Structures are given as C-alpha cells and as structure tokens.
C-alpha cells in the first residue's frame, strides 16, 4: 500500500504535506511517534476510515479491521453480547475469551469491568473477524506485561500471513508483534 | 443495603399514614361527607364497589382501551422516531405535528376526536395521542445520542443492521425508553380517564366517575379515584418491569 498525501489538515493545523508512506504487504509495520504527531490520523487514512485529505492511496484495504485506541464496546450489554455483535460463532468467542483470561466474564456487563479487562474484550472482539489488513492503534494500552504477551501472541496468530499496521509510541511493543518495518513520525 | 431499603419503605409507609391521618382530621373538622368523606367512608365504599360486577367490567373496559392505545402509540412512535432519525425530511415533517399534539389541551383533542370516533374507542385514541409525542421525542433523542464511535466501529466490523439494532441502538436507547414509558404511562391513565369523563363511553371508569359527580356521591368519587391511582401504579410497575426484562434479555 502506498499513500501519497498532498495535504491533510484539521482546520488551520496541517498534519501532513507532500508526504509519501509505503506500507509493505509482506511484513508487519509500526507507525511510531510521540502523542499528537498524526499516527492515528494516518492509520484512519490508510484503513479507509478517513477520506478527507488531498492525495491518493494505492492498494487501500478491502476488508480492514481496526482495533481503535478507545475500546468502543457497548457498555450496557455483556461481554459475550459484544462478541456476538460481530460474529455469531459462540464457541470461537468462548475460546478467545478463555485465551485472554476472560473465560468467566462472558455474562458480565462491560461497564462492570476494569480498564484492562475492557481492553482485552476489545482485542477479543477483533479476533472474531476476518480481514485482509489489521490496524492496531495502541493495542496494549492499560495491559500488564502478562496480558500484553498473551494478547500479542493471539493477535500474531490471527494475523499470520496478513499485513498488520501497529500504531504505538512504545518501542517495546514492536518485538511483541514481530514488527520489521517502521515509519517514524514527528 | 437491605436495611436502607427497609428504612426507605418504612419512611414511605409513615408518610402515607401521616397524610391519611391529616385527611381523617380534615374530614372530621369539615363534618360533611359531601365535601370531604373520611378515609374510612371511602374504604367502606370501595369494599362495596369491589363486590359489584360492574366495578370489574368498568376496570376491564378502561384498562384494555388505555393499554391498547398505549401499546399502539409505543410501536407507532418508535417507528416514527426511527424514520425521523434515518430521513431528515420525515423529521422536518413530523416535528410540527408532534409539537401541536403536545401543546393541545386534552379536552380540545377529546372533543375533536369525538367527532371522528365512537366514544367507546375514545380512550384508545386519546392515550395514543398523549403518549406519542413523549415516546417519539425520547426515542429520537436516544437515537441521536448513540455513540458515534461505536457506530463507526460497527461499520468497520461489518455488523448487520439487525445486530447494530440489537447490540448498539437498543442498549443505548434503554434509559430513554424507560424514562419515556415511566412518564407516559401515568399520562395515558390521566388523559384516558379524563377523556372518558368528557365522552362518557358506556361501561367505563370515566362514566362511573361522572355518575359519582352528578349524584353528589363524593365517597364514590374518592373510591374511584383511589382505584385509578392504584391501577396506574400497578400498570406502571408491571410495564416497566416488562421493559427491564426485555432489556435484560438483550443485554445477556
């Protein structure tokens, strides 16, 4: 995928001007940089969520899945209902939840979970889906080391042979997901 | 927790007992049943009424019509709110209509509706019309307040319309639906019975209330008022429990 961004701005603030980003399909890429440098904005353009820019992107994903920076869970319903919302495969959902140490939480309303548990549910939910590109925006935010490793292993397994784009400000996340290509912003 | 609930119930019972005593004292001071019957006289009248078959048929008559009007209104207003949310033109067209219905006094609507429908079905139409703006406005507000981020995620995760409705819109709407149902149930009762008192459909609670008035039977009037309050209370609690049950099912 190659993005030719002539200009991307929010009001008066220019985020990118005359920028070219090359994201290889055959390896995992990280977009690194400090907060506010435009990582999420670039991810939204690359995943096809944001079309409001001057320029064009060759090879836009047809079936992208995005793990957003926010958990974006339906808080009033149970963990399992959030999983069922994206796929009816209950067995798969149970297996993924168990793998992320959420086996006993299927019936728990999301609003009763801790921040780290919600993050794991958000990760579990994307693992239910089929995709051709996977975009992860700060995927391990709020997770302890053990949960981080476990989640990274599951994501790595799910994204086997598929392009993956990781947005992070933490270089320690790169080896966890086997990232071999890096774009530095800011 | 349990002791707090018990204390709250005891406080409520105490408040009711206090006002019953005030009522009894006021009734004794006035000393004229025509103006203010005592709680005991009303209770005695109520017991007599309960033993009468007409009492139950009147309740059934009114309850069934108000319930039908309420349920039809709930369905129609929910559908209209969804259409308004999806189609701006529909929302623009519906807005003045909803405002007019909300602002028009019940008595004016009752008299107008009596021109169009038989008085037997008056309370169906009135409870329908009184409830419609409340539920429509609340559901539309709920739909418009649905989390945009969640809807974007739903699009990325390719959720079907049915799944979006069940897992995103419905949970997000529940507080709005509960609030609307709670407000509108009481209104359906008040307006439905007020309509019956004006239109006098034969065999209704409204007709019983009207008869109590013209025969100057104040204990009857009070007894029927107590019945209406109790029915409205039961109606509200049963319906809200039903709504919460559905919400619980959807959430699990």
Mean pLDDT (whole number) for A120-124: 97
State how far the Cα of A168 lies from the Cα of B104, in Å rounded to an integer. Answer: 58
Q: What is the pLDDT of residue B14?
A: 92
Alpha carbon distances (Å) from A61 to A41, A49, A69, A74, A85: 16, 11, 19, 26, 23
Q: What letter does residue B165 receive in the DSSP assignment? A: I
Render pLDDT for A60-99 as a digit per residue (tens, 0 to 9): 999 999 999 999 999 999 999 999 999 999 999 999 999 9
Interface of A with B (CB under 8 A): 47, 49, 64-66, 68, 70, 72-78, 80-82, 84-86, 107, 109, 125-126, 129
Task: Find the mean pLDDT for residues A1-7.
Answer: 93
pLDDT confidence band for B247 (50 / 70 / 90): confident
Q: Is the predicted pLDDT of residue A100 greater than 90, yes or no?
A: yes
Residues B164-196: tens digit of each pLDDT: 999 999 999 988 998 898 889 888 988 999 899
Residue B251 has pLDDT above 70, yes or no: no
Chain B residues touching residue A43 (CB < 8 angstroms): none
CB-nearest partner of B159 from A77, A85, A107: A85
Q: Do B252 and A78 touch (CB under 8 A)?
A: yes
Write the DSSP string, A40-108.
Answer: HHHHHHHTTS---SEEEEET--SSEEEE-SS----TTSBHHHHHHTT---HHHHHHHHHHTT-GGGTTS
Inspect the interface and report whether the beta carbons of A86 and B251 lie closer than 8 Å: no
Residue closest to A66 by CA, chosen among B240, B244, B156: B156
Q: Which long-range contacts does B214-218 make (Cβ < 8 Å, 24+ apart)?
A: B216/B34, B218/B33, B218/B34, B218/B35, B218/B36, B218/B37
Contacts of A68 in chain B (CB under 8 A): 149, 153
Q: How far apart are CA B218 and CA B231, in angstroms?
A: 20
Residue of B158, B168, B252 lying closest to A74 (CB–CB): B168
Cβ neighbours for A167, distance < 8 A, ≥ 6 positions apart? A30, A31, A39, A40, A42, A43, A69, A135, A136, A137, A138
pLDDT given for residue B49 in this prediction: 85
B148, B157, B159: best mutation site toward chain A, by most A Cβ within 10 Å? B157
Q: Which residues of A102-112 are buried (b: 16+ CB within 10 A; e: fewer)?
A: beebbeebbee
- Note whether B156 contacts A: Cβ–Cβ < 8 A: yes
Q: Is B186 exposed, middle or buried (0-12, 13-18, 19+ CB in 10 A)?
A: middle
Best of A47, A49, A51, A77 to mutate (most B CBs within 10 Å, chain B): A77
Flag whether pLDDT at B249 surpasses 90: no
Tokens 């603030």 belong to A13
Query: Please, which residues bridge with residue A180 across strands?
Result: none
What length is written for chain A? 186
Token pair recorded at residue B45: 């009248």
CA–CA distance, A1 with A59 (Å, rounded to integer): 5
pTM: 0.83
Q: Contacts of residue A77 in chain B, CB cutoff 8 Å?
A: 167, 171, 250-252
Confidence category of residue B117, pLDDT binned at 50, 70, 90: confident
Closest alpha carbon within chain A to B251:
A77
Contacts of B158 in chain A (CB under 8 A): 86, 129
Q: Do A84 and B157 touch (CB under 8 A)?
A: no
Alpha-carbon distance B51 to nearest alpha carbon in chain A (angstroms): 47
Instruction: Dig out the tokens for B15 from the structure.
Output: 């408040």
Amino acid B250: pLDDT: 67
pLDDT of B143 > 70? The answer is: yes
Residue A140's pLDDT is 94
Within 8 A of B159 by CB-CB distance, chain A residues are 85-86
- H or E stretch including A167? strand A164-168
């Amino acid at each position: 995928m190659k993005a030719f961004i002539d200009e991307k701005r929010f009001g008066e603030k220019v985020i990118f001007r005359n920028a070219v980003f090359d994201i290889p399909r055959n390896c995992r890429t990280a977009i690194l940089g400090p907060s506010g440098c435009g990582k999420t904005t670039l991810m939204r353009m690359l995943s096809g969520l944001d079309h409001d820019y001057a320029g064009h992107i060759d090879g836009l994903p047809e079936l992208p899945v995005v793990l957003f920076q926010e958990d974006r869970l339906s808080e009033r319903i149970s963990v399992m209902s959030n999983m069922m919302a994206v796929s009816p495969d209950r067995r798969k959902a149970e297996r993924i939840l168990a793998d992320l140490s959420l086996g006993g939480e299927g019936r728990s309303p999301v609003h009763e979970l801790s921040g780290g548990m919600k993050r794991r549910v958000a990760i579990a939910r994307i693992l239910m889906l089929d995709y051709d590109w996977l975009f992860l925006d700060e995927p391990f935010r709020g997770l302890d080391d053990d949960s981080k490793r476990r989640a990274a292993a599951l994501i790595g397994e799910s994204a086997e042979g598929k392009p993956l784009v990781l947005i992070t400000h933490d270089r320690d996340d790169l080896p966890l997901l086997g990232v071999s290509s890096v774009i530095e912003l800011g | 927790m349990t002791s707090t609930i018990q204390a709250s119930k005891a406080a409520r019972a105490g408040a009711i007992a206090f006002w019953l005593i005030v009522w009894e004292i006021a009734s004794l001071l006035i000393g004229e049943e025509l103006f203010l019957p005592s709680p005991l006289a009303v209770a005695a009248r109520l017991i007599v009424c309960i033993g009468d078959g007409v009492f139950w048929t009147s309740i059934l008559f009114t309850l069934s019509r108000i319930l039908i009007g309420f349920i039809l209104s709930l369905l129609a207003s929910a559908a209209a709110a969804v259409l308004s949310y999806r189609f701006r033109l529909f929302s623009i067209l519906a807005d003045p209509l909803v405002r007019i219905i909300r602002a028009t006094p019940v008595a004016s609507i009752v008299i107008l509706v009596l021109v169009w429908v038989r008085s037997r079905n008056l309370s169906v139409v009135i409870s329908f019309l009184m409830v419609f703006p409340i539920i429509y406005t609340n559901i539309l507000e709920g739909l418009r307040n649905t989390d945009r981020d969640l809807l974007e995620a739903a699009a990325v995760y390719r959720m079907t319309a049915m799944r979006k409705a069940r897992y995103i819109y419905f949970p997000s709407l529940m507080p709005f639906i509960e609030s609307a149902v709670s407000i509108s149930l009481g209104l359906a009762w008040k307006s439905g019975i007020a309509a019956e008192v004006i239109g006098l459909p034969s065999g209704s609670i409204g007709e019983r209330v009207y008869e109590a008035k013209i025969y100057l039977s104040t204990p009857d009037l009070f007894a029927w008022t107590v019945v209406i309050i109790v029915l409205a209370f039961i109606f509200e609690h049963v319906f809200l429990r039903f709504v919460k049950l559905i919400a619980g099912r959807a959430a699990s």
